Structure 1
Amino acid sequence: MKRAYVVPHPPIILPEVGRGEEEKISKTIEAYKKVAEEIAQIKPDTIIISSPHAPYYRDAFYLADGKSAVGDLFNFGVLDVEEEVELDRDLALEIKKVGLGLPINFTKNDANNLDHGSLVPLRFIKEAYSDFKVVRLGLSMLSGRDHYKLGMAIESAAKNLGRNYVYIASGDLSHVLKEDGPYGYRKEGPEFDEKIIDILERASFDELINFSEYEAECAKQCGLHSFQIMAGTFDGLDVSAKKYSYEGPFGVGYAVIAFRSEGENKDRHFLNNKELDPYIELARRSIESYVRDGKIIEPTEDLPLAMLKERAGSFVSIEEDGDLRGCIGTIGPVRENIAEEIIGNAISAATEDPRFPPISAEELGKLEISVDILEKAEPIASLDELDPKIYGVIVSKDFRRGLLLPNLEGVDTAEEQVDIARRKAGIGPREDFKMERFKVVRHEYK
């Protein structure tokens, strides 16, 4: 039976730092001790811990590559607190190998330095149990789905090696709970904590991975992505959850919540294999990287060979709340390969469709994306050779060309299809024009 825990990491919880102030979060301390006792009973081989204070990359996940790590609290004015752990490099390597197409930076950079977001939980655990190794993970600015997917990769890697592990999702909740807190008070702070604790207690991981990044940012929290990775380790499983404590006397929310698996459940595959479609996920990642950071990503070597070696036109369509939010593509290939075609068209659909304003960062979690790969077009002589459910159409005269994809809602006849394409091309109703038809391979989540 697999276990995982959401825990906070306030240095003030340690008596060496708190010097009596830790008594104000006594419920959190007692909950931590209970977690440590449970882990001692489980006797895991490995503790996998994700921390917002490990090295943080915008477009990749940090995975420590090393033999051991040592942490201290020098930055908090305390000289006599130190913790050392042995790293499970074999499991870390297997996580990188499984990967599920995610950008994982398996690096020695800062691998030997145990951040306080990891040190605090491990210090409590080692008071009850110490015969374990550690895998250290950092968070990123990638989507909630990608963080969840990393959890899926972790679970697969652990199964491959037969590892008995416990997952520790280190993260504090809102930092804007009180006027005298670190960032003052904002109503979004307690609202965030209430929502997240409710979601976690119900183990509603579908809601967790789609939680608004905007709301999370307003709450000045640091735990959401850590919790999403943890949730991914339970993909396809029933989960029971129990809140051990919640406190916020210093203006920061501290929650301790325990999770355990309760058997398989095919309805709890919350990605529904969505993340396994590399065409859609390449488009999604391209949009997120460009909208958030202005950065154009590069195709990775783990993409399907067809995406890296073949050339074709493509269209990327974006919907939000069921309404079109952008759609731009290329009739024929104009870039090196299909992957680069998708990257370019995804960015254009998100930022350059003249019918809509550019997509904002706040919208990223709400988007539904589909990708059409166009097969080679062939000329046709009449409408009888068209079926709008099967074929797309290209209408052209001179330099003017209009395209309409197949199987679009509300387009039921060849006449309607051609008329729309003609108007898109700026061709008058009495002008002659040529027609071509084509098929597409559509990648979409239903």
Structure 2
Amino acid sequence: MMKSMVAIILSFFLALMQFVAPTCAGEKRTDKVRLPAVAGSFYPDDPATLKRIVRKYLTKADGRRVSGRIRGLVSPHAGYIYSGIVAAAGYSQIDQKIRTVIVLAPSHHIAFRGASIPEGLTAYRTPLGDVRLSTLAFRLRHSPGFTSVPQAHEREHAIEVQLPFLQVALEMFEIVPILMGSIDPEMLARAIIPFIGKNTLIIASSDLSHYYSYNTARRLDRFCNEAIPAIDFSKMALCEACGKLPILTLMHIAKIEGWKGILIEYKNSGDTAGNKDRVVGYASIAFVEDVRSEARRAKIRLKSEEREYLLQLARSTITARLADKTPRLRELDSPGIKEMRGCFVTIHKDGHLRGCIGTILPVQPLCQCVKMNALNAAFNDPRFYPLRKDELDSIQLEISVLTVPEVLRFKDSDDLKRKLKPNIHGVILSRGRNRATYLPQVWEQMPTKEEFLESLCRKGAMNSNCWQDKDTIVEVYEAEVFSE
């Protein structure tokens, strides 16, 4: 009897072990697959039928053809007989080189705060197979604003219905499934941007107006179809969409990255498979990368007159504030200072730091960025008392114009040190809600990479060895630095 019990317990233990797999970070977790919730209702549950129907939609898809590479896509999430042909108009034009797809979707069933990436989940399953979660999902979950609400993902269709189109349109890819609860879309956009690689596609899953008459729906949906591609946030107040927060997040990303919006296709259920009394609207809207978007990630080179003007702008702005006057400086008609850029303004006095504040992401024109951060460095740096008028003649101003930060991929701490370039890379370390950066010129004060990274960890109120932690996100950027 005892031997039988031991055999049963041992068999049970071995059966459990079959489900255990190591993660890329060396931890162990139980593989968990999210099963289809709407197969057989929103789309066919038979694999052959599903693949045939999706291919048919992709082949017959109409709508506007876009020039340029699609980086973001607003796509509907209704049953395929209603919205499939509209979704296909966008998916038929995505780049085959896409390897990571970030899907932003609303939570229709469960309310929560934050943006949810399900913890422990390794794949989403459809009748066409399993779609693995990208390792990016595990890293992004530790960023500010993110949480894990697994039960919200279980019944949610808004992510699931996008996957068969992606499985047919792309050769291989992984996903980052994000359900949005109550969260600031601009904050979420800024959290996602550092993780966007050249082969990343972002999907905002959303239908438009619900259950109006045909003509009323077309009139209401026009607000969305005009505001979204124009990245017009003020007009979005009139847009009715169940995935409005995902759409707004994608719009913020597109604005910062310099992507151009294009309405590809619009229909409602009265055009596809339903009656015209109570319809739902669907749109496929692309955000396309152009040459200027690549330039933002490239090395920045300003003209000499642009550099001189920005330094004059910074000093005149500080001087005017101390005199309680409006700055008077001729406007320079030059495209370089009007580009969306991130920047830092640093103040030195007698060879010592007197203030330094900046904006990492390109959220405003460079001239505005310099004005704002000149004032912040002079009067709002919490490490120093506000600048006094009698100090004006003894300070020196320095401006750093930044490239867009990118996540640095590395295998371990030794690999990280090999990839970091002293005096070239500015570095951002993020772990949970803690975040800190050093500009490239700070390398001059740190003789070794270890000292640089440990100091940056401490600056962000993190353990001095945080840079060796797998949960710490490392981003790098470059800067064009010039001073008076």
Q: TM-score range by the shorter chain?
A: 0.3 to 0.5
Structure 2 length-normalised TM: 0.33
Structure 1 length-normalised TM: 0.36
